[in-house]
Amino acid sequence: MCGIAGIVRRFPTGVSVKTLGKMAAAIRHRGPDGYGFYIGQRVGFAHVRLSIVDLAGGAQPLTNEDGQIVVTYNGEIYNHPELRRELEARGHVFRTRSDTEILAHGYEEWGVDMLQRLNGQFAFAIYDRRSEVVFIARDRFGVRPLFYAQPNGAFYFGSEIKAILASGEVDAAMDRRGLDEVFTFWGVRPPRTAFAGIASLEPGTYGLLKDGALWLRRYYELDYPEAREEPADVIEKLDELMLRSVGMRLRADVPVGAYVSGGLDSSITASLASSASPHTLRSFSITFDDPQFDESEFQREVAEDVGSIHAITAIKRDSIAATFGDVLWHTETPLLRTAPVPMYHLAKLTRERGIKVVLTGEGADELFLGYDLFKEDSIRRFCLRRPASAGRQRLLDRLYPELVGRGRGGEFWRHFFLEAGAPSDPLFSHLPRFLLSARIKDFYTPEFKAGMGGVDVLGELRGSLPVRFFGWSPLNKAAYLEMTTLLSPYLLSSQGDRMAMAHGVEGRFPFLDHHLYEFASALPTGSRLRGLREKEILRRWASRILPHRIKERRKQPYRAPDVPSFFERGSPAWVAEALNPDALRRVGVFSPTAVAGLTRRCGAGFATGFRESQALVGILSTQLWHRQFIETGVSVQPLAANGADVVLSETIPALS
């Protein structure tokens, strides 16, 4: 795993190594093991390396045999040994053992159709000097990030936005619509970002850049060709896919560890990794002082069961506020949740213990309908078929017993779910979450709201749905929305890639193997969510490898402390500074009067619900994000060419 960046100029005016050095420096955390540059008249690439495969020979940028194809790449191609054999059989001569070289020869052999053959998580740029085309691409589910900007006909790209900003040639400005998406979906849906003029390449998409024009095309589409019945060999097939996916994700020249949450999904990946790994598995967990978030009892049980050497990072309430600013620097977007913060600490621990690669259970809830939201969708539809039935409505109480028991919400609780939208609305499954999150918009200043020009992000989402969406069953519609609005824009980025890569740790996600996704999405939904039993088929299969207690454990949502973290005695000074009326006016998104009311309630300990806790985190993070990126800006010392592992150059020297 690494970081990439680059510049493509419209005309051959040169790309300076100093500018590339600044771009690389901004994302050095992604690749602390080395760096390199390609410097040309129109095209310059930078690369920072986290060495995992071919430690000695995998430096980048890298070219094909005649130097006409130049690659800078972040990620893993898990099936690289198979592709290498295929390419060698076709006459390609490899100089390294790295998976990067697959891209150079694969592009030469198959062009952009190479993407269909790749099994992995990747973002890359390939410069074809013969045709003067730059080819960029991102993996199917958006595991690895790739951002770009096109000011004045030039093209800038980077694994993180800060690389683009560090060039000094692209301005940082707030994208109001992007922020409005954060305050609805928890993250910004690609291609939009929180920065005006900076785009995120959509998952499963590639781009061809020639003569200043970028032509984008999707090479992978999510689909749900749901079968009526389970195939007879469904468990055997799942077994084969799981073993193969984990086996491929253990391919590395360094030991691979595992994150263990205590839930089903990461227990599966840890168990399979432990069985297949040549090393004693190293596992890592987050524990919380607060018992409402803590799962350490189950984590210990899993670690004992799989025989791993286990380490924990203990999150206290003050850990959240203390590192929130660092986390925002890496997420590059405001947040509504503090949940990325513990992930940041977990990656730090992992790296300190000498592990660069971890397997996690990310993706299983989306593939096998694990989230409560899916049950909620089914129950709400069931209730709305007979709205007068009190018995049906009480099913909602069963869904969130911890909240109902604490809250005595009664009829009001049910009302929230049943009035959130009509079953005919394509966003029906997600409207309670979207509408609850959007309550933070009550805090907008009138000017910010007016500047939005009547944007309706829910309307835009409805309008963006593919035609085939309308033919899917309700649960598959919900699964698609979850994949496209939350998994890639938030979970895989703010909680995933950014937190791990902040400490040079690569996350690998066996459940996000596209063969496994295609298997799961073709199953009857009843195989995935049977009644109110989530991930049914996964549990059935997991009885082969996990103890009963872990296999049958009910899903516990991953959450972290929020409001009290920022309002306890001794909370850092930046909290009050960020919520100060002058600071709020400077940013202009949130009303000082409204925020004063929220601050008063937070300080008094009254802001205990989702609505106000999300508002507080959203406001604080927007203030910090704005200060770091818009007010202060990205300023770094460039990485010098004389310290690079590799500097490739066109024959004609760069002009500057």
Partner 1 sequence: MQTGQTEIIERVRNYVYENFLYMHTNFELRDDDRLLEKGVIDSMAIVEMISFIESEFGIRANEDEVSEANFGSLSCVARFVGEKQSSALAS
Q: Which of 65, 442 has the CB closer to partner 1?
A: 442
How does strand 357-359 pair with strand 256-259? parallel
DSSP 150-167: -GGG-EEEESSHHHHHHT
**Min dist. Cβ of residue 289 to partner 1 (A):** 24
Distance of CA 162 to the CA centre of its chain: 17
Closest among 361, 336, 343, 368 to 181, alpha carbons compared: 336
The position carrying tokens 């601050």 is 599
Residues that bind partner 1 (CB under 8 A): 406-413, 415-416, 419, 436, 439, 442-443, 591, 593-594, 596-598, 600-601, 606, 608-611
User: Minimal distance in Å, beta carbon 436 to partner 1?
Assistant: 7
Give the containing element (helix H, strand E) for 44: strand 43-49
Which lies closer to partner 1 via its Cβ, residue 184 or residue 360? 184
Residue 315 near residue 288 (C-beta atoms within 8 A):
yes
Judged by beta carbon, residue 244 or residue 601, the one nearer partner 1 is 601
From the CB of 456, what's the least distance to partner 1, in Å? 17
Q: CA-to-CA distance for 298 and 306, rounded, in angstroms?
A: 12
Q: How far is the CB of 561 from partner 1 (least distance, A)?
A: 17
The residue among 110 and 413 lying less far from partner 1, judged by its C-beta, is: 413
In the complex, what is the shortest distance from the CB of residue 494 to partner 1, in angstroms, rounded to a whole number?
A: 24
Q: Which CB atom, from 12 or from 609, has the smaller least distance to partner 1?
A: 609
Q: Where are the alpha helices (DSSP H) in 187-339?
A: 234-249, 264-276, 296-306, 317-331
- Round to whole Å and give the CA distance between 376 and 396: 7
Cα 167 → chain centroid: 24
Nearer to partner 1, 414 or 528 (CB): 414
SS3 letters for 299-320?
A: HHHHHHHHCCEEEEEEECHHHH
Q: For 531, which DSSP code?
A: T
Strand arrangement of the beta sheet that strand 309-315 belongs to: 309-315, 282-288, 256-259, 357-359, 506-508
Q: Least distance from C-beta 578 to partner 1, angstroms?
A: 17
Closer residue to partner 1 in complex, CB, 231/605: 605
| Residue (354 or 597) nearer to partner 1, CB | 597
At closest approach, how far in Å is the CB of 440 from partner 1? 10
Q: Do β-strands 256-259 and 282-288 pair in parallel, antiparallel, or remain unpaired? A: parallel
Question: 3-class DSSP state for residue 466?
Answer: coil
Amino acid at 224: Y
Distance, CA of 258 to CA of 247 (rounded, Å): 13
Smallest distance from the beta carbon of 445 to partner 1, in angstroms? 11
**Distances, alpha carbon 369 to alpha carbons 141, 491, 528, in Å:** 17, 16, 6
Residue type, 341: V
Between residues 199 and 619, which has the closer beta carbon with respect to partner 1?
619
Give the shortest CB-377-to-partner 1 separation in angstroms.
18
**Spatial separation of the C-alpha atoms in residues 111 and 394, rounded to whole Å:** 56
Q: What's at 459, amino acid-wise?
A: G
383 close to 389: Cβ distance less than 8 angstroms: yes
Least distance (Å) between residue 586 CB and partner 1: 19
Least CB distance to partner 1 at residue 2 (A): 44
Query: Smaller CB distance to partner 1: residue 542 or 615?
Result: 615
For partner 1, which is the closer residue by CB, 296 or 608?
608
Give whichever of 573 and 604 is closer to partner 1, judged by the CB atom. 604
The neighbour count for residue 581, using CB atoms within 10 Å, is: 12
Neighbours of 85 (CB within 10 A): 10
Nearer to partner 1, 351 or 601 (CB): 601
The CB-of-390 to partner 1 minimum distance in angstroms stands at: 11
User: Three-class SS of residue 646?
Assistant: strand
Min dist CB 613 to partner 1, Å, is 10
- Nearest in space to 40 (alpha carbons), one of 62, 14, 11, 59: 14
On the 0-12 / 13-18 / 19+ scale of CB atoms within 10 A, 210 is middle
- Asked if 647 and 44 count as a contact pair (C-beta separation under 8 A), the reply is no
